[in-house]
Amino acid sequence: MIVFHITSPETGIACELQQKIDQLTKPKGSLGALETVAMQIGLIQQTLSPVLQQPVNIIFAADHGIADENVSKSPKEVTRQMISNFLNGGAGVCFLARQHGFRLIVVDAGVDYDFPPDLRIIHRKIRKGTRNFLHGPAMRASEMELAMQYGADIVTECHEGGSNIISFGEMGIANTAASSMWMTCLADMPLAACVGAGSGLDGEGVRHKQEILQAALDKYKGDRSVLDVMRYFGGYEMVMAVGGMLRAAELKMTILVDGFIMTNCVLAASKLYPEVLPYCIYGHCAGEAGHKKLLEALHATPLLHLGLRLGEGTGAICAYPVVSSAVRMINEMHSFSKASVTKYF
């Protein structure tokens, strides 16, 4: 298994950062979350004047064997169809990436389809979809290890290209089902609290989904270790995202976290390496059931509450202007002394 060398940001600069923020021409604490984010990025980058460079959003795409149990409203072929939509610039994440200057990378992590080799995606297919975890492990240990390595390597390439802030998205029908299994096992919450509508199931559909997932959980005889849960219930795109997040933290990049699925990937990553957490900024609280509880379990405060539940990295990119504003605040606002303003608090 790939080994990461992640260290939490040094805190020696924290007092200077706080002093700089407090000396800006505003009442102390009056810019709320912007001040918190500026402090966090300053610590990540170990500077009083942080910068954001070449933001990237990586979409990992893969199919899930559990989709055969009708736990999603969307058919499995939507995964490959959406890849074409990403490449043609027509998906939700595409207009947001254009608006906010994100480079968009699409990775075939395990889609049940043969894409042309010259397609403008990164070809890292592990297998044509995971196995159905109702009947056994979704993937082999060797497949999980390879997915972690692929995810890490792609982030390394982004970093070498000049990026210091990165977000992750996913595409894979039934990946909310896999995420619910990670959440119930790794956050030690009742399955019912972790299961939601996904791409639009009605009440009966959610009940069926929960019944299937409960049956799979009842059959599971593993040790509930992080790696075993990831292997047994996960998707290739999810494991690649975990590897990507851990490498990003190792490289001291800022990680913008998207919704329910990507927050579960943070959960898994943090169970392996708790030091990943200080590098994570949570973009939003998704409309998917369970995300609010998962954020609370991670002691995470999301920047936005827009009712989003699309995935793809959309919520993370939506939050980027807030992060950018935090960096502009600490760099562009004048201090009381520079502006010749009397402190008024």
Is 312 part of the annotated catalytic residue set? yes
Q: List phi, psi (to 5°) of 212.
A: -65, -45
Identify the active-site residue in 143, 237, 288, 312.
312
3-state secondary structure the chain: CCCCCCCCCCCCCHHHHHHHHHCECCCCCCCHHHHHHHHHHHHHHCCCCCCCCCCEEEEEEECCHHHHHCCCCCCCCHHHHHHHHHHCCCCHHHHHHHHHCCEEEEEEEECCCCCCCCCCCEECCCCCCCCCCCCCCCCCHHHHHHHHHHHHHHHHHHHHCCCCEEEEEEECCCHHHHHHHHHHHHCCCCHHHCCCCCCCCCHHHHHHHHHHHHHHHHHCCCCCCHHHHHHHHCCHHHHHHHHHHHHHHHCCCEEEECCHHHHHHHHHHHHHCHHHHHHEEECECCCCCCHHHHHHHCCCCCCECCCCCCCCCHHHHHHHHHHHHHHHHHHHCCEHHHHCCCCCC
Active-site positions read: 312
